[in-house]
Amino acid sequence: MENEDNSYKESLKKSLKKEIRENLKSEIINEIVSELKAEESLLKKELVELLSKKISSAELKKASTKHKQIEPKKTSEDVECLISVKAFLKISSHALKYANKEIPKEDWVEVIGLLAGKVSNHKLYIEDAYPMGHGSAVYAEIKEYKNFVKAFKDIKKSNLFICGWYHSHPSYGAFMSSEDLGTQARYQKLWDKSIALVIDPYEIDGNSYGFKIFRSNLNTEEWYSIPFEITEALDVSTLPELLDFIKPIIDGKALFLEYDED
């Protein structure tokens, strides 16, 4: 009889241990699940904040150093690209149309367009610029293929050809980023001497034209700065005053429309 009691007690003890163990396990699992859910919620919040956060100018400049940018010393013999005053004014006013003091800085966006030119005496002459569209604070692209075709026909009528593209970096410097490499590759595959012009209209300060011209070595993914000159007489010190003069046109009735606005 005593043996049976001992056996029963032992069995009951094992059963209770098992039940307690299962209960503890369940409590621990529930606690871990609750913690993980809390962490997941926090991570989601951080991710949303990260994705919605606009890239700062400093971050963009840091990103631009990922691909080497070589800027040779300029001499008159080195100049291989000349840009007309007409093209310069269209590019700068296009950039300012979507990034000026009348627009909150957080709403400034990049613009994009085509460059039309001709080659003479082994030099590229950029004769005109064709505003194509505008994008976000850090990106712009030509979205409509039909607009590209329309611009191509207009450029051809002028006895010019598409020699490259331009875009703006409102307030964060004239440099080419890694994202620009893919765009430039498409142009250089059509014509290996195609150029990319990037302008920051807020660097037009009387000492600088506010833009740089680049070409890329697609094999090494290096950007090369192309020495340039303005074809007509245009004193760099007069540019801020000149842009102030045409500002009402930029703000109101523009000199031109983007092909997206036709």
Q: Mind listing the pLDDT tens digit for each residue in 18-32? A: 777 777 666 666 666
Give the CA-trace dihedral at 234, 236, 239, 240, to 10 degrees. Answer: -170
Return left, alpha or beta for 66; rule: phi > 0 is left, psi -120 to 50 is alpha, else beta.
alpha
Contacts of 176 (CB under 8 A, 6+ apart): 64, 67, 69, 184, 196, 198, 214, 216, 223
3-class DSSP state for residue 35?
Answer: helix
Encode the chain (262 residues) as per-residue pLDDT tens digits. 555 566 666 776 777 777 777 776 666 666 665 665 665 555 545 544 443 344 444 444 444 445 555 454 444 457 789 999 889 988 998 998 898 888 898 899 999 999 999 999 889 999 999 998 887 544 455 666 788 888 899 999 999 999 999 999 888 888 888 778 888 998 999 899 999 999 998 887 777 888 999 999 988 888 989 999 988 766 676 667 666 656 666 565 555 667 666 5
**β-strand 111-120 against 195-199: which pairing, if any?**
unpaired
CA end-to-end distance (rounded Å), the chain? 103
Query: What are the CA-CA distances from residue 259 to residues 112, 132, 218, 229 (Å)?
Result: 11, 5, 29, 28
Distances (CA, A) of 139 to 55, 130, 136, 169, 180: 11, 18, 5, 9, 9
Look at residue 226 in the predicted model and tell me its pLDDT. Answer: 93
Question: What is the C-alpha to C-alpha distance for residues 134 and 136, in angstroms, rounded to an integer?
Answer: 7
Read off the pLDDT of residues 203-248 as tens digits, 9 standing for 90 and up: 877 778 889 999 999 888 889 899 999 887 666 766 676 666 566 6
> For residue 24, what are its two tokens?
């503890």
Burial of 123 (0-12, 13-18, 19+ CB in 10 A): middle
Cα three-residue angle 33-37-39, rounded to 5 degrees: 115
Question: Within a 10 A sphere around the Cβ of 199, how many other Cβ atoms?
Answer: 25
Predicted pLDDT at 102: 85
Question: Which residues fall within 8 angstroms of residue 182, CB to CB, at 6 or more apart?
Answer: none
Model pLDDT, residue 60: 46
Look-up of token digits 């009889």: 1
**Maximum Cα–Cα distance for the chain, whole Å?**
120
Q: What does the alpha-carbon distance between residue 259 and residue 41 come to, in Å, rounded to a whole number?
A: 45
Give the pLDDT of residue 154: 94
pLDDT of residue 36: 59
Question: Within 13 Å of residue 161, how many CA atoms lie on the same side as its CB?
Answer: 11
> In whole angstroms, what is the distance from residue 41 CA to residue 33 CA?
12
